[in-house]
Structure 1
Amino acid sequence: MTIKDTIYATSQAVSDFTFDAKVVEVFPDMIQRSVPGYATIVSTMGKLAGQFAQNNSNLYDLGCSLGAVTLSMRRTIEKENCTIIAVDNSTAMVERCRLHLDGFRSQVPVEVRLADITEYSIENASVVALNFTLQFIPLEQRHALLSKIYQGLKPGGVLLLSEKFRGENEQTDSLLIDLHHDFKRANGYSELEISQKRTAIENVMRPEPLSMHLHRLSDIGFSQTNVWYQCFNFCSMIAIK
């Protein structure tokens, strides 16, 4: 049973957003009601992982939260000797992720690691997923993280990157934010919840323009980068080595 997200439903002194036990309890509801097309993104990332997985390789889900992308990838992998490595720095998320994964049988092994993805080694990878994770990494560390991922990918390997992004100018950004807030209202969030959540997250999530993402990926060395999904200020990209 999915527990409804009511974390910001009452007026409160708002502190910076963290992926703690309170968030873990309501995360499935929170993400579905906050991110347009989330189910489509997760299922398609799984399909792409199945398409690009290589024999005798690792697949990484960095910032795995409760393991939605890990599960989606595991359902589609048909290559031999593949291992999924799911990494998150939230103890509460990792503990619940392990429980979720234990509920589904699969021939594809999964290793769930409690670690900082900026310090975790990426090796022999055919697929790396960053599903709304990079936006929580400090700006000054993002290029290094993506470069490390590129170096750890096998030729023909892919990075699957989903992000909330900032509009290219103030007018566009305001339009995208308004559309997203309308989406949240339609999903039952009140004005108080929208306002308090925005306050909680503004210091920990730093979105960048989409053009910045595409330029950085090209600069790092990815040969092909395409946006395959976008709704309002949320998008998902594939970058091929």
Structure 2
Amino acid sequence: MKLASMMSTLCLASLGLVGCSSNVTQPDEYSGFLGDYSQLKEAKSPSGVEVMRWVDPKLDLKQYRSVYIEPTQFYPKPQPTVKIPQNTLYGINRYYDEALKREIGKDLPLATAPGPGVIVVRAAITAVSSKTEGLKPYEIIPIALVAAAVSTASGIRDQETTLGTEAQFIDGGNNKVIAQVVRKGSGKPLQNDTQVMQPSDVKNVIDGWAADLHQSFQKLKKQ
């Protein structure tokens, strides 16, 4: 069998998903956290990363005085593995909280509860994976916590770390969704298939997400 045919077969067979790795989160990778994905459109974040996004065309940020960031969560709830243990999951979740508060807090004061004049940020981490570079199937059912099985020969290859998120922004007065975003990113590669993932391996991804939200707020304020 030719190499191209072998790679195609591998890509299609991995967890029954159609399509290999893409920079943009595909519909079959949606977790269900947002509920309705019908209005999402492909767009570029302020840093130039391709994302799926929707913003209410009638949105006026001037009517909001503060922002309430709900504790971030994993969706669906993951099961720890040897490569991605519970302390890693906890650390990723905690750092996402910190990054959102740090960056969005530059735009609006942080509120202690939802209410009129408050934007509610509801975010979830929907995929965490470590995969052998070059194969890159995107595992997501349940949350992508399974390391790819590799042979002794391929075990020396770097393992790519991937993180996915879905977030919605809600009017704290009437609970209306005013914006949504779905995106993913790659963290630091692991040296081999036995290295345990650490929160620091994906901090650059989370920092990028939070910084883009800050820049998006700035752009929307000027409209």
Q: Structure 2 length as normaliser, TM-score?
A: 0.25
Higher helix share: 1
Higher RCO (CA < 8 A, seq sep 6+): 2
Q: Structure 1 length as normaliser, TM-score?
A: 0.24
Rg larger in structure: 2
